[in-house]
A and B are shown apart, each in its own frame.
Chain A
Amino acid sequence: MKKIRVSLLILALCILSLPIVSFARDVAPIVDTAWVETNINNPKVVVVDIRKVEDYKAGHIPNAVNAFYGSWAMMKGGLRNELPAADDLFDVIGGAGIGNDSIVVLVGKTDAVPDRTDITRVAWTLKYTGITNVAILDGGYNKWVADKKAVSTGAVRPKAKSYQAKVNEGLFAKKDHVMKSIGKAVIVDVREPDFYKGVKKLEFVAKAGHIAKAVNLPTSQMYKQDGTYKDKAELMNIASAAVGKDMAKEIITYCDTGKVCTAWSFMMTELMGYKDVKVYDGSTEEWTKDPQAPFEQ
C-alpha cells in the first residue's frame, strides 16, 4: 500500500512538472493549423517545410521556407539517417533564416509513419544544434490542405542568417554507450511488434530481433487515423506503460536507422517531461553488424 502511495505521489509530481516543461519554451511542441495560420506573419516564427523541393514548389504554407529532409540527415559510413557535419547543419539553419531566438515550426507530409518521423528527426536535430523552440505542425501539410488553409506555390527566399552554436552530443547515444547501458538504462525499441519479436526485419538489417533487454513501444501507437498525434494524456499512458514513470531515468530509443525513434524521443522530452532521453543513431542497422552486440528474439 505504501509503495502504491509513493508511486502515486511521484506520478502526481511528474504531472505537475509538465507545465514547467511547456513553459520553458515559447511554443508548444505540437501546434495545430489554426496556430500556424494565426502566427504565420510573426517575424520570430519560421515555418520550415521539409518535403522534397518538387512537392514544396507545387504547394506550401504561405511564408514557409523549404529545407528538405536530406539537408538534415544523410547516409554516412554505410548507415542511413546520420547527422551531417555541424558546420553543414549550421549553414542549413542559417540559410533557412533560423536564428537562436526563432520559433521553428516543422511541416512535412504525414501519409505514413516514416514520413511523420522525418519531421521529428529534424526536430531532434534542431535540438542537437541548439534550437530550443521547435514545434511540429500536427498532421503536417496533409492536415493543412485537409483544413482548406491557404496555399502558395513557387519558392520563398529566406533571409539568410549566420548561425553558430554548441551542439548537444548528449542527445545521441553511440553503440558503446548502449552496450554499457544494457540492464541500467531503459532501452526502447520503437519498431512494430513483429520487428521487435524478430518475425520480420528490413533487408539492410543483418539480424531479426531486438537489443537485449529492450522494451517495445511501437511508434504507430502515437497517431490517430488522420496522422495527427493522440492527446498528451493518452501518449503519456502509452509511454509510461513501457518505460515507467521515473522522469530522471536514462532512456535510449532505437529503431532501424535512428529516424523513427525520434518520434517518441521528442514527445517524451518536449511534451511529457522525461529528462534524459537519447537516440541511438546507429540503431539495428549498426548494432546487428556487430557479432558481439547482444541481440535477442
Chain B
Amino acid sequence: MYKAFLVDKALIGKDIHFEESCSSCHKGNEKGPTRAAAHKGLVARPSKSMEACEKCHDNITGPFKTALHYTSEGQRHGVAGRLSKGELKVFNEKVFEQSCRSCHASCGDCHVKAPVIGGVNTGLLKGHRFVKRDEGKTCALCHGGRVYPEFTGEYGGAADIHYQKGMICVDCHKKGELHGDSAAPYMLRKEVKERPRCTNCHKAGEEKTELAQTSHKSHNGKVSCYGCHSGGPYRNCYDCHLGTGATSKPGFILGLNPRDKKTVTTLRVIPTVRDTFKSAGIAMEQFDKLPNYWDSAPHNIRKRTERTRSCELCHNEKKNFLTKDALLKNGSKANEGLAYTPKPIKK
C-alpha cells in the first residue's frame, strides 16, 4: 500500500471528518501500491460538486447551490443587461463558463484550503483541519483587490472602524448570507435577504450626540451611510479587456445611485468598456443601458470623515461630486443621469 500523508497524524483523532477515510472524499485507490496507482481517479477538490459534503451537511449544501458564492451569478448579471439575447448565449459559452465561473467558491475554499488566486496557492488553512472561519486566509484572497485591503487600511487611508474594533468579515456577513437562504437563488448581492445593513446595529435615534442625530435626520433618504462615512479613496477599475484585464486607481466619487436616483451615494467605476468582449465576438449591443458607475459600499467606514467634519465640503465646495464634465469619455449614456450638484445650505 502506498503511504504518504498530507494530514498531520495528531489531527486525525481531533476532527470528526477524519472518522471517514481519505478516499471517502478524495476518491482514488487506498490500496494502490504506488503513488500513481493510489492517485488514480483522485479528486483534488472534493467539495467542488459538493457531493462529499452533502452526505452530512445537506441542510447547508442545498441552499448553497443557489448562493452567489457558488453560482457566480452576480458576475453574469452585471454584464447581461448590456447584451442582446444572441450575445448572452455567446457570453455564457465563451466568457462566463470559461472565465467568470472559475472564481466560484465551494465549501473547501472557505473551510479547508485557501483559494488559489492568480496561480498563488497558500495551501491548507490549518493542516487540513476543517475550520469554521479564517477570513484572513479565505475572504481576504478572493476579495483582496478591493474590499479586504480597503477594510484593513492597506489600500491607503484609515482602516474601516469595524476592523479597528476587532470585527472581521463574518461578524457582519453571517452564514445565512454566505450559505444562501430560502429566498435564493439571487442574481446579485443587493437582493440577498440576509445581507448586512448599517441600521441592524446603528439604530436611528440612538446617536450619542445631538449633532449626529440632526445630521442623520436631515440626510435620511437623501444620502446613503457611505456617502458621509466612507473614509476616503477606494479602488476604481478601468478599461477591462477579456484576456488582458483592467487597470485601477484610487478615487472617491459621489453621485446618484443608479438603482435609486433619489439618493446620493459612493459610486465605483466598473471596468466594462465598449470593447471589453470584442475578442469573444461580443459587441455589447445594449452597452448604453447600464452605467459605468455603480453604487458601492466601500469597506472603509469611519465615524468621522472630512464630510462629517465639514458641511461646506459638500454643500459649498462640492468636493468629489460627479459632474457631467468628469464623466468617462466614450462611457455609457446611462452615466449621464448620475451627476449631482448639492444645494447650498439654507441659513
A91 at the interface (CB under 8 A from B): yes
A248 at the interface (CB under 8 A from B): no
A242 at the interface (CB under 8 A from B): no
Tell me if B159 and A68 are in contact (CB < 8 A).
yes
B interface footprint on A59-102 (CB within 8 Å = 1, 0 otherwise): 00000001110110011100000001101100110010000000
| A67-B164 contact given A52-B136, A91-B303, CB 8 Å threshold | yes
Q: Closest approach, in angstroms, between the C-beta of A67 and any C-beta of chain B? A: 7
Tell me if B158 and A74 are in contact (CB < 8 A).
yes
B197 at the interface (CB under 8 A from A): no
A155 at the interface (CB under 8 A from B): yes
Q: Which of A57, A68, A85 contacts B304 (CB 8 A)?
A: A85
Tell me if A71 and B159 are in contact (CB < 8 A).
yes
Q: Which of B154, B163, B164 contacts A92 (CB 8 A)?
A: B164
Q: Closest approach, in angstroms, between the C-beta of A113 and any C-beta of chain B? A: 19
Distance between Cα atoms of A209 and B168 in the complex (Å): 41
Chain A residue with Cβ nearest B134: A54
Tell me if A54 and B135 are in contact (CB < 8 A).
yes
Query: Among residues 135 to 172 in chain A, which have CB atoms less than 8 Å away from a CB atom of chain B?
Result: 155
Distance between Cα atoms of A275 and B159 in the complex (Å): 34
Distance between Cα atoms of A70 and B162 in the complex (Å): 12
Q: Closest approach, in angstroms, between the C-beta of B74 and any C-beta of chain A? A: 26
Distance between Cα atoms of A91 and B154 in the complex (Å): 21
A206 at the interface (CB under 8 A from B): no
| A53-B166 contact given A74-B153, A87-B304, CB 8 Å threshold | yes
| A53-B157 contact given A70-B152, A88-B304, CB 8 Å threshold | no
Please give, as numbers and ranges, the residues of chain A lying within 8 Å of B163 by CB-CB distance: 53, 68, 70
Chain B residue with Cβ nearest A155: B166
Distance between Cα atoms of A74 and B160 in the complex (Å): 12
Please give, as numbers and ranges, the residues of chain B lying within 8 Å of A75 by CB-CB distance: 153, 156-157
Tell me if B159 and A70 are in contact (CB < 8 A).
yes
Tell me if B164 and A52 are in contact (CB < 8 A).
no
Q: How large is the interface on B (under 10, 10 to 19, 20 to 34, 35 or more residues)?
A: 10 to 19
Residue of B165, B166, B302, B303 most packed against chain A (CB within 10 A): B166
Chain A residue with Cβ nearest B155: A75
Distance between Cα atoms of A55 and B303 in the complex (Å): 25
| A66-B166 contact given A54-B135, A54-B136, A88-B304, CB 8 Å threshold | yes
Please give, as numbers and ranges, the residues of chain B lying within 8 Å of A54 by CB-CB distance: 134-136, 168
Please give, as numbers and ranges, the residues of chain B lying within 8 Å of A71 by CB-CB distance: 159, 164
Distance between Cα atoms of A70 and B154 in the complex (Å): 8
Chain A residue with Cβ nearest B306: A85
Residue of B134, B157, B158 most packed against chain A (CB within 10 A): B158
Please give, as numbers and ranges, the residues of chain B lying within 8 Å of A67 by CB-CB distance: 164
| A53-B168 contact given A70-B159, A74-B158, A75-B156, CB 8 Å threshold | yes
Q: Closest approach, in angstroms, between the C-beta of B283 and any C-beta of chain A? A: 40
Please give, as numbers and ranges, the residues of chain A lying within 8 Å of B166 by CB-CB distance: 53, 56-57, 66, 155
Please give, as numbers and ranges, the residues of chain B lying within 8 Å of A66 by CB-CB distance: 166
Q: Which of A52, A74, A95 contacts B165 (CB 8 A)?
A: A95
Please give, as numbers and ranges, the residues of chain A lying within 8 Å of B302 by CB-CB distance: 88
Query: Among residues 188 to 235 in chain B, which have CB atoms less than 8 Å away from a CB atom of chain A?
Result: none
Tell me if B152 and A52 are in contact (CB < 8 A).
yes
Q: Closest approach, in angstroms, between the C-beta of A293 and any C-beta of chain B? A: 24
Tell me if B164 and A68 are in contact (CB < 8 A).
yes
Query: Among residues 288 to 310 in chain B, which have CB atoms less than 8 Å away from a CB atom of chain A?
Result: 302-304
Query: Among residues 128 to 144 in chain B, which have CB atoms less than 8 Å away from a CB atom of chain A?
Result: 134-136
Please give, as numbers and ranges, the residues of chain A lying within 8 Å of B158 by CB-CB distance: 70, 74, 84, 88
Distance between Cα atoms of A53 and B136 in the complex (Å): 9
Q: Which of A57, A70, A76 contacts B164 (CB 8 A)?
A: A70
Distance between Cα atoms of A92 and B158 in the complex (Å): 13
B interface footprint on A217-246 (CB within 8 Å = 1, 0 otherwise): 000000000000000000000000000000
Distance between Cα atoms of A85 and B165 in the complex (Å): 17
Tell me if A74 and B157 are in contact (CB < 8 A).
yes
Chain A residue with Cβ nearest B167: A53
Chain B residue with Cβ nearest A84: B158
Please give, as numbers and ranges, the residues of chain A lying within 8 Å of B134 by CB-CB distance: 54
Q: Closest approach, in angstroms, between the C-beta of A178 and any C-beta of chain B? A: 24
Q: Closest approach, in angstroms, between the C-beta of B144 and any C-beta of chain A? A: 13
Known: A71-B159, A75-B157. 6 other contacts (CB 8 A): A53-B167, A55-B136, A67-B164, A70-B159, A74-B159, A75-B156
The residues of B with any CB-CB pair to A shorter than 8 Å are 134-136, 152-154, 156-159, 163-168, 302-304
What are 26 A-B contacts defined by CB distance under 8 Å?
A53-B166, A53-B168, A54-B135, A54-B136, A54-B168, A55-B136, A56-B166, A57-B166, A57-B168, A66-B166, A68-B159, A68-B164, A70-B154, A70-B158, A70-B164, A74-B159, A75-B153, A75-B157, A76-B157, A85-B304, A88-B302, A88-B303, A88-B304, A91-B303, A95-B165, A155-B166
Q: Enumerate the 7 nearest inter-chain pairs by beta-carbon distance, A residue then B residue, closest first.
A: A54-B136, A70-B153, A70-B159, A75-B156, A74-B158, A71-B164, A155-B166
